[in-house]
Amino acid sequence: MSNLSTFVKRIRNIMRNDAGINGDAQRIEQLAWLLFLKVYDAKEQDWEIADDN
């Protein structure tokens, strides 16, 4: 299983136990934001490394 699949499965299981999130639609929205922020954070780190060179 890929790292992304494992990440999504772990987060999904955590979100199912969260009383503040109801239904698959809300979980999908929250998960999309989490993935976006994770990718954006990685890109920011790449940009910082490029700026240092």
Name the CA radius of gyration of the chain, rounded.
14
For residue 8, what are the contacts with CB-CB under 8 A and spacing of at least 6? 31, 35
pTM of the model: 0.60
pLDDT number for residue 8: 79
Digit-coded pLDDT (tens) for 3-22: 878 887 888 888 888 787 77
Structure tokens at 7: 């990440």
Tokens 């009383």: give the residue.
19
pLDDT number for residue 5: 85
The Cα diameter of the chain in Å comes to 46
